[in-house]
Every structure is written in C-alpha cells, then in structure tokens.
Structure 1
Amino acid sequence: MREFTSPTLADLSGHRNATDLLMHRFRTSPDHIAFEVRAEDTPVTAPWRQVTTGQFVDEVRALAKGLIAAGLQPGDPVAIMSPTRYEWAVADMAAWFAAAVVVPIYETSAQPQVTAVLEDAAVRLAIAGTAAHAALLEQGFADVGLPHLGVWTMDTRPDADLAALVKRGADVPDGEVEERRLLHDLDSVATIVYTSGTTAAPKGALITHRNFVGQILNVGAAYTSVVREGGNTIIFLPMAHVLARGLQLICLANGMRIAHLSDPRDVVPALGALKPTFLVVVPRVLQKIQASAAAAAAQKHLGRVWALAQRTAVEWGRFAEAHDADASLRAPLGLRARRALFDRLFYARLRALVGGRLDCLLSGAGALDTELSLFFRGLGLPVIEGYGLTETTAPLTGNLPGAIRSGSVGVPMPGTTVRISEQGEVLARGVGVFAGYRRASDNADAFVDGFFRTGDLGSLDPDGRLRLKGRIKDVIVTAGGKTVTPAVWEGLVEGDPLVAHAVMVGEGKPYLGGLVLLDPESVAAWAEREGIADLVGLRIPDDGSAVQIEDERLLGVVGKVVTAANARLARSEQVRRFVLLLADLSESHGMVTPTMKLKRAVFTESARHFVENLYTDARSRE
C-alpha cells in the first residue's frame, strides 16, 4: 500500500483558537480538578495541592494581564525556558490569552542555543524557571542586542518573578484580556518550536492554532477510552517538547487531571502516590522497568522463575494481540494457568509499582522492541506505540486501543494521510502538519506535492499501519555496494538495558561495524549483581569524549546481544565487529538532542578513531 487516509472525526468550527480548548471546559466544569501541584520542597508522596479548572483560568487571566501591562503586543514571541512544572502550563496559556506566540526553549540548552533561538524568533519577553535560566536568557538578549520587555522567573525573585508580573497587570480589565484572547484565529501561528536537530541545525517550525485544535479534538475522539474524565496522568517529558504540550491540552480539554515532574528520580514514588490511569513514556523507561524486575528476582534467587515468567508474558501478549478481547477465554489452559501463577508472583506487583490504575501506556520518541511491547501487554499494561514529529504537532500515527500491533506505529491519526514515496520516504498531510519553517530557505525541500517529507523510511501494511525502517539520511553503502538501513540492528541492540545507544558504521567499508554506548547506571547495577567491583564505579569522561571498555565479562554479555541481533538480519546487514564505549551524553556536549536522541553524525565524528580501529585493530571483538 502506498497511501492511507484516516477520516476526520471532529468539527473545528466551534473553536476560535486553542484557548477555546480550555474555555469550553471552563464553562461546563469550572470546579473539576484540572491539576495536582506538588508543594515546594516536599516529598512526592506528600499530599499534592489540587487546582480546579476555574482556578487555573483565573491564574492564566491574571498573568495575561501582566504580560499586556508589560507592553506585550499581539503576535509578539514569548520565550519559556523552564523544567516541567505547573507554572509552565500557566505561562503557556497566558501567552495565548495575550495573543502572543510561544517559543519554548529546552531547560538544558546551552548559552549559544538560547541566544540562537532568541535571535531567530525575535523574542520580545522571556519567562524562566529559575534565576540560572534567567541569566542565560538575559545574556542571550544582550549578545544579540535585542530590545525586550524583561525576563521573569517562576521561582521567587524580587520585582522580576511571575508574582510581580501579575501585580503589574492588576488594573488591566478582564474585557481587554478577552479581546486579546480572541484576536488569533485557527490559522494564526500559536508557537514556534525549534526541532531537536539530530541530522541538521535546529529549524523553527510554525505550528498554528488549527494544528493544535485539530489534533486535540481528533485524537481525543479516537482515544475516548484512554483520554477520559476521571482519568489522570503525570507529565515528565520536557514541556518544551510539542508532545508534552499536546498531552497537556488534550487532558485539559477532556477533564483528565495533570501532575508535572521534572526529576526522573521522582517518577516511581509519584506513581504510587498519584495512581495515574495513563502515561506517556519513552522505550528506555520500559526497558528499565523490565530490567529492575529481573534484578529484583535474581536477588531473591528467582532468576530462572522470572525468565519463565517473562517468556509467559510475551507468549500471552502475542496471543492477546491475535485474539484481542477474546484472549482470556480462548487461550490454552496451560498458558492461562502459567499466567495466573506469574500474575500472583510478579505481574500484579509490577502493576502496583506503577500505581495499579494504568489503562495503558503510550510509547514514543524511539523505536519500541516488539518483544518488550508484548511483555508489557502480557503483564496487563498494554503499550500504545505511536509516531510523530514536531512538524506534525506530535502524533502522526498511532495504534488504537483494542487494535495494537507490536512492531507497528499504527494508522494515521484522524484527518491525516500518510503516503510512501517511490524512495520509501514517509510523507504526511493533514490537520496536524505544520505551516512550514520560519526561515523560507528551510522549506525548499520540506514538502513535495503538498505532503511534508518526514525524512523517515517506512511502509504501510494492507490495514494502513505504518512500520518504520529508519532515517533516509542514515543509510550506509558498504564497499561492496550494499545499501543498509542501520536502524533495525541498532534498535535490536538498544533493546538490552545495558545499552544506551547503538550506532552501526561501515560507509565505504568492506563490512559493517558497531559502536555500542553503555548505560552507566545499568552497567553498575549489573556489575553489583555479578559481584564485579571494578565495574561498579565506571568513570565517565566529563569532556564529552568516549572511552573504550575492554572488560571481557561485559564484552561477553553484550556480545550475546549483538549475536542475537545479527541472527534476525540478512548476512549483509550483520555487524561483524563492535566496540564498547562509555561517554557523557549530556546535552552540553552536543552529542544528543534535548529529548536524548543521539546525533549520529556528531557522535561518529567524535569517535572516528574507534571506527577506524574496527577495521584495522585485530583485537576488535565480534
């Protein structure tokens, strides 16, 4: 199949712009709990403050008045740079109430990145999370000589925090805010989101109010069993990411409670305290949950029992996928018995660990291993895998509840068409596809025949489900002329918790090689379980460089992972030699994007000598 369209499910005519997603909810349910807010310096297990939809609107309106009083004009860009927190939500919506354009900046961004965004977007006012973020923003304004209306912090700061800004707007009439709120229509630019740039320099994507409203109403209509009143979620993705903001809007519009967390270490205890019904995660989180369960079983000398439990979960997941709702009735007696046993021993405890109320998880921002997806389905925690980009206002395709197919990223979202080009590239057209990039030069090759070029390779099955095959720019052509897409091998190897990233190399070489970047935390935990003291405290270089790990025991374990990955591929697509590396992959060194995707070209260039050694060093391991 070359093209598939999912029909539109929602009528947008009742919405002036994205603020109406909130205001329609406010008019019908002002007393509904919209947010749970953690008090400052309290444990996540302590009671969270509850904020109603009405209270949220009051806070948004008050801050919008402050923005207007500060001199912000309709259409002015407002930058927000902060960790994920409740005040991000207030600032985002308040800027829209004031008819501004929101420019999110990742809170981990370095000074040159901050400066570049401020200059390119011509930002007029900035809101920072902390004083440190404010300093970065103020320096950025100074570096490019941009006149601005101040940098205001969410944290307390004398005469320069959000409380001071709200006080400044105390005399602005409600009617003036309402006039501002209604100035922008569906085709006005709502936000300029800078792409994370795994293969190129960041580009400012112009996302309209129509993109947001269309996505929220259509996705909400397609996922009514997931996005529902009475449900709740925890957002711990960066709020600068369009997926997090889209998730927040769909929850606001549909009556789901929202809690925010910025520190990943707080997530597990927060799950027990808040008991979410829905979570958005990246595959790495699921890998670590599985690995932690295996480690806990091993410590109790139940490693072999857990291995059987894991295989049973995958088997049940595969059977459930084939039979959907009838699985529990039609499964073989032996499988039902094993699952019941392991549910008492393991599965129920894992479900309790994540709060005990999860209807499902949504996985994105990376390929999800098929067996990992089946494993979680077998636990009773189905994983909905989806796919999208900044330029598609997050979700482009997604599996639907009751019709999950592991290994697929699902069908196009309602109101969306996906086409596969003659070259195998995924093309997209529809309600979520952005208006274009801010710089005209960036649009030159971005569209073809009215479709956005995603840069990803994929195929559609007869039911319109999309399967991804990697990035079009990441293909490798060996010396023998064989064209290989590295994403398949890389995804298989990255499915092991010991591996943070895997990079296939071999352009112009006689065979394929691999750079395997270890996950320090997982390696330390593995070494402690195995009693290998010298690997518990592996030293990571702090200058962004990589070091080679030559421990025979670790090479043996990862070697089995590589061998298993190779076994699932044609001989010409197999990696013959690999090297284990350890590196500081924090964003400050430019090796990863703010969403922790590896910048392949940057990393392989920095590791060039390791690549060369794969083809010259006889000691390299297979």
Structure 2
Amino acid sequence: MREFTTPLLVVPSIHQNATDLLMQRLKTSPEHIAFEIRSPDGAVTDPWRQVSTSEFVKEVRALAKGFIASGLQPGESLAIMSPTRYEWALADMAAWFAGAVVVPIYETSAVEQVAAILLDASVSSAIAGTREQASTLKRGFEQAGITVSKIWTMDARAEPDLEDLVDDGKSVADSVVEERRLMATLESTATIVYTSGTTAAPKGALITHGNFVGQVLNVAAAYKEVVKESGNTIIFLPMAHVLARGLQLTCLANGMRIAHLADTREVVPSLAALKPTFLVVVPRVLQKIQASAAAAAAQKHLGPIWHLAQDTAIEWGRLAETLETNPEAKATLGLRIRYAIFDRLFYTRLRKLVGGSLDYLLSGAAALDAELSLFFRGIGLPVIEGYGLTETTAPLTGNMPGSIRSGSVGVPMPGTTVRLSDEGEVLARGVGVFAGYSNTTDNANAFIDGFFRTGDLGEFDEVGRLTLKGRIKDVIVTAGGKTVSPTIWEGYVESDPLIAHAVMVGEGKPFLGGLVLLDPESVQEWATREGITDIARLRIPEDGGAVEIDDERLIKVILKTVGAANAKIARSEQVRKFVVLLSDLSESNEIVTPTMKLKRDKFIERSRFFVEKIYADTGKQM
C-alpha cells in the first residue's frame, strides 16, 4: 500500500461558507469585471456585456430576496435545470445567499430521471432555463408525487420568470438576506450532485461548503500561473457538472472573467472576441482541433508536411518536459529549424484559432492520449491533465505548471492524500472529499479506513504522480485466465476523432474482441473531406439500437487505428477481431451519460448480437 499527501496551502476555516468567497472579492475589487454576458439581442458591434463583481452581488441579493419571499427555507433544496448560462451562476449563488441547498439537473435529463432526483433530494421548488425545461420539471414533480412545487424560468416572458421572483422579494430587507447567508457553515451541505451513472444508478453526493471553499482556495494557490486576476475563461461544460461549478467559484473568487456558452459549436467562433487565457476542455475537443488542422492541410495538398509538423510538435513537447527536470537538455539544430518553419506555417495559426491568448488548457473527464498532450505542448498550448470525481468535488490530482508529465494525471491536490490499496484501487481523503451519499445505504462500501473508494485503478511514480489504469469493475478475464484492463487499448483507439467510444470484450472468451462506436458528426466531416457522397448508407438507426458499418473505405481507416493501438500493448492484450458500429449518442438513447461517458455494461448488453458475431468468426480480423 502506497500513499502520497500534498499539504494544505490555505486553511478553509478563514471563511464562514462558500458565499464568503464572493464577499471577499467584493470587498477587495468591487468594480473588477467578473462576467461577460452575450447580449440578448445578438448585437454585432458589442455582443458581450460586462458585469462587475458589485453588479453581480446586487443581482444575487435581489434574487435571494425573491427566494426568501417565495417561502424557500434554510436547508431546503432548490433544483436548477438549465443549459450553461450566466443565470445559472446567478441562481446558484442566490440560493446559497438564501440558505438553500442547490440540486443541479442536466438539461437533457428525461422526466423519469428528473422525478427520481426531485424525490431523492426532497425538492419542492426549481429554476428552469426554458419553457421546455420548466415543462419537464413540472412533469417530474407530478411523477414524483410532489404536489406543492414552484418553478421559475430564466428566459424572460415565460411565466413566472426570474424577474417576477425579484419583484416578489423587493420588500425583503438586506439584513434578512445577510442573516440567511451566514446560516450555513463549512460543514453544511451546499449542493447534492448526482453521479453520472456509468456503472450504477445515479447517487446523490452531499458536497459541503467546506468542500468548495477548501478546493477553491487551494487550487488557486497551487495554480497561480493559471488562476490570475488578469485572466479569463469560457465555461461551456454543463453547469450541472461539479467541475464547471468549482471552476466558476475559483474564477469568481480570484477575479478571472467568465463567459458562458451552452452550445459547444459556438466556442471556437467566440474565441477571437473573448481571447481566453485558460480553458477547461475534454480530450475530444483537442482531438477535433488536431483533426481539423490535418484536414485543412490535406485540402491544400500539405498532408505529408503536416504529418512532419505534427511529429515535430510532439518532439518539441517531449523536449519541454525534459527541460523541467534537466535544464541542460538542448534541441538539435535540425529540430530547431523544423520547429521554426512549422511554427510559422502551422502552429501560430492554431494558437490564433483559440484566441491567441491561451496560456494553458486543462483536460479532464476522460483519459488524454500522451502524444496528443505532447503535440499541444509543442505548439505552445500546454495541457494540464487532472483527475477527479463528483465525490471529490472535482480535482483530486493534477499536473502542475512547470511539472507536467503527459500520460499522468498528476499529484494530489493540496490538502489531499491519495492511497493505493493492495489491489491498486485509488483511495482518497482530503479537503474535497464529500460527506457521503444522500441515501446512507450507498455509503456502506464507499469508504475504507476513512478513505473514499474511487473504483479506479492506478499507480504512482517516484514523486507521487498518478497514472490511471482502468476501472476495477471493467477488468476482463479471458478463457485462458489472462486478466486484462481494457482502458489502455480503448484510450488508444478513441484517440481517433472518428471514434466516439471503443469497448474491449472477451470475458471468458478465447481472445479479445472490440466494439468500435463511431462519432456520427466526425464521420460526416470525414466523408465530406474524402468526397464521399454515398454516406447515406451510414444512417443512424431510429430505434435506439446500433447498426454495423461495413463501408470498405471507412473500415480501412479504422483498421489502421486499431492496428496502431494493438502495436502499443502486449500481444496478450491486443484485440484480434472487432466490429464497427453506429448509434444515436444522445442521452435519450440511454447508453451515454449527460457528460457523454459511455454506460459500458448497458452498451455491451444492447450490442450482444455484435459481440456474439465477433466470436462466430465474422468480425474484422487483425
């Protein structure tokens, strides 16, 4: 059993609760710009309106008064179901000012999921983003058997809306709001966040004010090069995700401007105007940026040159990592010449594509391919990879500026101890680890010796950097008795932007097989680039199932990807046969979570026919 601890940098007890993070900022920098909000009328000349810290606090107080006037009591739960937007931040903080507990619900959730959360968290009032989400909440309340419920919408002119709520609270005194704001302590529950449910039914994680405060203060102290008053970011992750809310609080407490975007397709067009210094992304975003650059080069008949440029960036990124521990290392003359040429030809343009001001990218939510990380570092956009869960209030470990190791998720966050059990399970204890689940029966196997059991497998290097090795529940034991963790192979295959998910199978079978699930949008883009017009054969089935793809041109590309993945691992861990599938990847199909993680067991069960086909000697042979 091994463990590593990073000591606290800032003691959380300097604050009463999470609202003090905002109030301290109000005291020191009231006129500093806290948010940039898209103008509702779509103005061309000035599309983004700026909101100062003092203006935000004024709006928060006004909305908190409305909550109080509506009868919301201290400790009661308020649900928020909305896409990512400024009003989400406003309602979240106002609920805390009123002494309430916030229950986020993904805007894509089905009525049954909404009803289960409303019932489990004892919710009787809610904020919706749109009329459609208000309707979903209403039906959720009805299905949960909650007869007394109140719903307000963020969209104006939808009755009742937030303006109506503010009007209702005008008679509430500031002193009443301040009294409510100070009721919660660091031990009080701030929010109940429901897990994504990739391996089991969603569970309500009780996250305290102390969890948020401890994480915000210590993450900011550890990442001073990133979290700075002169910086800004765009949040386009779902606000129902604890990482997005933790990021927002960290920025708000430290003066980083925040802009919100609900549609990820709007992010790239907005980068030139907003010029963020820091972005939190998922690996798939980075894959698509790299793939788009490759496609653009190919259209200009520069494909071979781009491949050399890509290899050069990876080599330069590897040198940058080496320099962190060996300042005497030097680039060869040939590498310096190639880098100078490709920086002018490609890398500078890529940096401009993301706004031209980015200092760092942070990648989370899924494994990041080491070479992809090195590529972005090589072009001047270093990626900080981290790891965390809902139950750890987002970051549990992270690489640090000046000490980034591609393929690793870094060292424990300040105030955190990470331990590996004898079986290799990652165990966590510290300032961000939650208080437990709302259903106490879920806590029975969640902790051991005071440590939270993550269910992930990992290993440390000599300085405590953690590398993840898969999930305990996902290991495969073949007929020959070989135990294999599928995560590594799956990660290599998923590095191809054409592939949304890869699943290794083979439990009790004589060899390992694979299910390769394509990304419909990327396949369409690929077909356009290749001049393929008969892509209609790749239509997504409407019945929620999957369809096998046998297009020879596409299979040829996937064969290359699977072959490259196999070449990186031991022969006994390689996939010998696979099938290529296409399916609806929206949450309504129930094989992915709201954060687009694959529900592995459910997908395999639905794809049982294709698994059997692999072992009936008809899968694609490697």
Q: Same fold (TM over 0.5)?
A: yes
- Could you tell me whether the CA contact under 8 Å between 2:77 and 2:100 is conserved in 1? yes
Letter in 1 for 2:295: A
Give the Å deviation of 1:197.
0.6
2:123 corresponds in structure 1 to 123
Q: What SS does structure 1 have at the residue aligned with 2:201?
A: coil
Hey, what's the Cα distance between the residues in 2 that align with 1:427 and 1:605? Answer: 30
Hey, what's the Cα distance between the residues in 1 that align with 2:420 and 2:13? Answer: 31
2:350 corresponds in structure 1 to 350
Letter in 1 for 2:116: A
2:101 corresponds in structure 1 to 101
Letter in 1 for 2:178: E
Give the Å deviation of 1:311.
0.3
**Distance of aligned partners of 1:44 and 1:387 in 2 relative to their CA distance in 1, 3 Å threshold:** farther
Give the Å deviation of 1:571.
1.3
Give the Å deviation of 1:324.
2.9
- Could you tell me whether the CA contact under 8 Å between 1:71 and 1:149 is conserved in 2? no
1:266 corresponds in structure 2 to 266
Question: CA RMSD of the aligned region, Å?
Answer: 1.4
1:148 corresponds in structure 2 to 148
- Could you tell me whether the CA contact under 8 Å between 1:613 and 1:620 is conserved in 2? no
Hey, what's the Cα distance between the residues in 2 that align with 1:218 and 1:341? Answer: 41
Within-5 A mapping of 1:46-445:
46-324=46-324, 330-445=330-445
Deviations 1:523-581 (A, max 9, x none): 22222222222127731112211000011121111111111111111111000000000
Letter in 2 for 1:574: Q
Hey, what's the Cα distance between the residues in 1 that align with 2:343 and 2:507? Answer: 47
Deviations 1:39-77 (A, max 9, x none): 125278853000000000000000000000000110000
Deviations 1:381-412 (A, max 9, x none): 00000000000000000000010000000000
In structure 2, the gaps of 5 or more residues are: none
Once superposed, which parts of structure 1, at least 4 consecutive aligned residues long, lie more than 6 Å away? Answer: 325-329
- Could you tell me whether the CA contact under 8 Å between 2:131 and 2:158 is conserved in 1? no
**Distance of aligned partners of 1:619 and 1:116 in 2 relative to their CA distance in 1, 3 Å threshold:** closer
- Could you tell me whether the CA contact under 8 Å between 2:578 and 2:619 is conserved in 1? no
- Could you tell me whether the CA contact under 8 Å between 2:322 and 2:329 is conserved in 1? no
**Distance of aligned partners of 1:317 and 1:107 in 2 relative to their CA distance in 1, 3 Å threshold:** same
Q: What SS does structure 1 have at the residue aligned with 2:250?
A: helix
- Could you tell me whether the CA contact under 8 Å between 2:538 and 2:549 is conserved in 1? no
Hey, what's the Cα distance between the residues in 2 that align with 1:144 and 1:245? Answer: 27
Give the Å deviation of 1:161.
0.4
- Could you tell me whether the CA contact under 8 Å between 1:79 and 1:104 is conserved in 2? yes
Within-5 A mapping of 1:564-575:
564-575=564-575
Deviations 1:449-481 (A, max 9, x none): 000000000011110000000111000111111
**Distance of aligned partners of 1:339 and 1:450 in 2 relative to their CA distance in 1, 3 Å threshold:** same
Q: What SS does structure 2 have at the residue aligned with 1:104?
A: strand
Q: Scaled by the length of structure 1, what TM-score is found?
A: 0.98
Q: What SS does structure 2 have at the residue aligned with 1:163?
A: helix
- Could you tell me whether the CA contact under 8 Å between 2:34 and 2:52 is conserved in 1? yes
1:609 corresponds in structure 2 to 609
Letter in 2 for 1:511: F
Hey, what's the Cα distance between the residues in 2 that align with 1:296 and 1:336? Answer: 24
Hey, what's the Cα distance between the residues in 1 that align with 2:292 and 2:328? Answer: 27
Give the Å deviation of 1:13.
2.3
Hey, what's the Cα distance between the residues in 1 that align with 2:146 and 2:123? Answer: 8
Letter in 1 for 2:358: L
Q: What SS does structure 2 have at the residue aligned with 1:117?
A: helix
- Could you tell me whether the CA contact under 8 Å between 1:44 and 1:269 is conserved in 2? no
1:551 corresponds in structure 2 to 551
1:5 corresponds in structure 2 to 5
- Could you tell me whether the CA contact under 8 Å between 2:287 and 2:495 is conserved in 1? yes
Deviations 1:120-166 (A, max 9, x none): 00002100000010011111111222143410000124541000000
Hey, what's the Cα distance between the residues in 1 that align with 2:137 and 2:486? Answer: 38
Give the Å deviation of 1:330.
2.4
- Could you tell me whether the CA contact under 8 Å between 1:38 and 1:44 is conserved in 2? no
Percent identity of the aligned residues? 73
Letter in 1 for 2:417: T
Q: Which moved more, 1:548-557 or 1:449-458?
A: 548-557
Hey, what's the Cα distance between the residues in 2 that align with 1:525 and 1:369? Answer: 22
Letter in 2 for 1:403: S
Letter in 1 for 2:202: P
Q: What SS does structure 2 have at the residue aligned with 1:591?
A: coil
The question of 1:485 aligning with 2:505 is answered no
- Could you tell me whether the CA contact under 8 Å between 1:527 and 1:536 is conserved in 2? no
- Could you tell me whether the CA contact under 8 Å between 1:319 and 1:327 is conserved in 2? no
Deviations 1:83-137 (A, max 9, x none): 0000000000000000000000000000100010000000021000000100111
Q: What SS does structure 2 have at the residue aligned with 1:533?
A: coil
Give the Å deviation of 1:326.
7.8
In structure 1, the gaps of 5 or more residues are: none
Q: Scaled by the length of structure 2, what TM-score is found?
A: 0.98
- Could you tell me whether the CA contact under 8 Å between 1:44 and 1:266 is conserved in 2? no
Letter in 1 for 2:164: A
- Could you tell me whether the CA contact under 8 Å between 1:524 and 1:536 is conserved in 2? no
Q: Which moved more, 1:247-256 or 1:530-539?
A: 530-539
1:25 corresponds in structure 2 to 25
Within-5 A mapping of 1:504-519:
504-519=504-519
Hey, what's the Cα distance between the residues in 2 that align with 1:343 and 1:325? Answer: 25
